[in-house]
A and B are shown apart, each in its own frame.
Chain A
Amino acid sequence: MDIGQIFVDLAKGSGFAQLGMQWQNAVMIVLACFFLYLGIKKKFEPLLLVGIAFGILLTNLPQASDADLLYHPEWWIGQAAIDNGVDYLNVLQHGGLLDILYIGVKTGVYPCLIFIGVGAMTDFGPMIANPKSLLLGAAAQLGIFTAFILASLFFTPSQAASIGIIGGADGPTAIWLTKSLAPELLAAIAIAAYSYMALIPIIQPPIMRLLTTKKEREIKMEQLREVSKSEKIVFPIMVTIFCCLLLPSVAPLLGCLMFGNLLKECGVTERLSDTAQNALMNIVTLFLGISVGATAQGARFLSADTLLIIALGLIAFSLSTAGGLLIGKLMCWLTKGKINPLIGAAGVSAVPMAARVAHSEGLKANPSNYLLMHAMGPNVAGVIGSAVAAGILMAVFG
């Protein structure tokens, strides 16, 4: 046995020997550390950003041999996968940990499970009490389609649709659509979507102040009526039947959202509701974050396309906010000042962050103005709206 040769082989096989080979990986490691800083120190969507950042870190660190790789991107978005579909048997037999976890992303299971959890945590009461808020939720999808138009100048239609959905401000929906339409852009789109959701308190207030007058922001809204238990139970069943009959492609997302909500409201499945809100949500968030992060391999991620996606995502997000505000202003005018237009900005999904921002802007204009419950209506309507938008895009481009 040649001990010296063993040491030479060990040194050659170590990660340090490979670090200088790909500068993109080094940049991604720095980026992962920056995201970890944002998640841990600045608390920017930490539950997902920490997972995504660690996934980026793991996938960009040098690994000993092909057999030890945690993630094999060529199995998922390589030419063979595009031509013949993913070889799941090979993934299960020879895949690394992140390959196995990525099955949940690729098959669209994780976003749907997250929607069950979101449904179990959401109170549709404010929306049922003020059904007009659904129109604000619909208007706040404007950014999706404006970004789609712009993106279609630079990308294929499927990719443009996936980029546009960033404007829905709904991470699981963006992942659900992108994994089918443009899996090669998944990392960039997921990171952009979650980053902008985290940056809502910075992005939205200037747009709100630009598009509304102080007088409009001061408007106090009437207290919402009390919604009965019967209405809360009938609502998810009714919406599921109606939407799935009208647009079957929305069934995976909207069906799961309403199922989660029914678990919460029916009063006889408290254990299931508790599991959906806590254990299930936490487990899926963990798997989703780390496996999405793993797709951000330096050589593929660091490109002009990524920068363009981030810019288009910001446009989409801003225009969605503007769309909600403008319809809010219209409704304010039609109701002779009974609706505060700020609640329109909460029509972008991001629950409950967008509603809180609308509330705090209302408070700044008038310290006795409490808009939170009024803003929750358009906020949850936005979740339904973005799910419907994703269903339409899936039906057209899927």
Chain B
Amino acid sequence: MFNAIESVTIGESFALAGVSMSIIMGVLACIMVLIYLMSGFFKLLEKHNPALKAKIDALFSKKTEPTEASEPVATEEKDIVTARGSCGNIVLKNVTDREAAMIMAIVADKMQTPLNELRFKSIKKID
């Protein structure tokens, strides 16, 4: 750790500013290089060992995918079970009911999931 600096001359201020800017540039440039290396590693992995890459991706995305998707569903039973009605509350911030309804319908359509199986907590308009 440095000793606390009590006073600086204008020349020292310039020097300190220059050194600090260089350090910031250096640190962010190093992060840039690290990102290139990381991306290169994953690309290389995909190229030479696609099975391993798929395994790693599956490992990372395992928890985010719905587990039900892989389970076979008895079609007859599925036909019998009727969807539950929507319930719960949603917080709307600077959004009208009409806009919220449209947004929810679009999301449900894009996700190919019935609206009553989705849970919306809040919709907020970002200016």
Please determine whether chains A and B interact with each other in the same assembly.
yes
Q: Which A residues touch B90, using CB under 8 A?
A: none
Tell me the nearest residue of chain B to A145, going by C-beta. B17
Do residues A157 and B56 form an inter-chain contact, with CB atoms below 8 A?
A: no
Do residues B24 and A157 form an inter-chain contact, with CB atoms below 8 A?
A: no
Residue of A135, A158, A234, A395 near B29 (CB, 8 A) is A135
Residue of A139, A229, A395 near B61 (CB, 8 A) is A229
Q: A138-B29, A146-B17, A242-B30 are in contact. Are A231 and B38 (CB under 8 A)?
A: yes
Q: For chain B, give the interface size range.
A: 35 or more
Q: A138-B25, A231-B39, A388-B24 are in contact. Are A132 and B57 (CB under 8 A)?
A: no
Residue of A128, A139, A152, A228 near B10 (CB, 8 A) is A152
Q: Does B14 contact A (CB under 8 A)?
A: yes
Do residues B27 and A43 form an inter-chain contact, with CB atoms below 8 A?
A: no
Bound-complex Cα distance A141 to B22 (A):
11
Q: Whole-angstrom distance from the CB of B78 to the nearest CB of chain A?
A: 27
Do residues A388 and B10 form an inter-chain contact, with CB atoms below 8 A?
A: no
Could you count the A-B residue pairs with CB atoms below 8 Å apart for me: how many are there? 119
Bound-complex Cα distance A384 to B12 (A):
26
Q: For chain A, give the interface size range.
A: 35 or more
Q: Whole-angstrom distance from the CB of B108 to the nearest CB of chain A?
A: 20
Q: Does B77 contact A (CB under 8 A)?
A: no
Bound-complex Cα distance A239 to B4 (A):
28
Do residues A267 and B63 form an inter-chain contact, with CB atoms below 8 A?
A: yes
Q: Which A residues touch B14, using CB under 8 A?
A: 149
Q: For the complex, would chain B's binding face be called helix, strand, loop or mixed by DSSP majority?
A: helix
Q: Whole-angstrom distance from the CB of A269 to the nearest CB of chain B?
A: 9
Do residues A239 and B31 form an inter-chain contact, with CB atoms below 8 A?
A: yes
Q: Does A6 contact B (CB under 8 A)?
A: no
Q: Which A residues touch B27, using CB under 8 A?
A: 138, 243, 246-247, 388
Do residues B28 and A381 form an inter-chain contact, with CB atoms below 8 A?
A: yes
Q: Which A residues touch B74, using CB under 8 A?
A: none
Bound-complex Cα distance A158 to B5 (A):
8
Q: Which B residues touch A40, using CB under 8 A?
A: none
Do residues B60 and A145 form an inter-chain contact, with CB atoms below 8 A?
A: no
Q: Whole-angstrom distance from the CB of A138 to the nearest CB of chain B?
A: 4
CB-CB contacts of A147-171 with B at 8 A, as 1s and 0s? Answer: 0110011001110100000000000
Do residues A229 and B7 form an inter-chain contact, with CB atoms below 8 A?
A: no
Do residues B39 and A134 form an inter-chain contact, with CB atoms below 8 A?
A: no
Q: Does A55 contact B (CB under 8 A)?
A: no
Do residues B2 and A148 form an inter-chain contact, with CB atoms below 8 A?
A: no
Q: A235-B38, A239-B34, A267-B61 are in contact. Are A141 and B5 (CB under 8 A)?
A: no
Do residues B10 and A153 form an inter-chain contact, with CB atoms below 8 A?
A: yes
Q: Does B68 contact A (CB under 8 A)?
A: no
Bound-complex Cα distance A135 to B35 (A):
13
Given contacts A135-B32, A238-B38, A397-B4, 5 further A-B contacts (CB under 8 A): A131-B39, A135-B25, A141-B24, A145-B16, A239-B34
Instruction: Name 29 A/B residue pairs within 8 A (Cβ), A-sorted.
Output: A128-B39, A131-B32, A131-B35, A135-B32, A138-B24, A145-B16, A145-B18, A145-B21, A148-B17, A152-B13, A153-B10, A157-B13, A158-B4, A160-B13, A228-B42, A229-B57, A229-B64, A230-B42, A230-B60, A231-B39, A234-B38, A239-B31, A243-B27, A246-B30, A267-B63, A384-B31, A392-B23, A396-B2, A398-B1
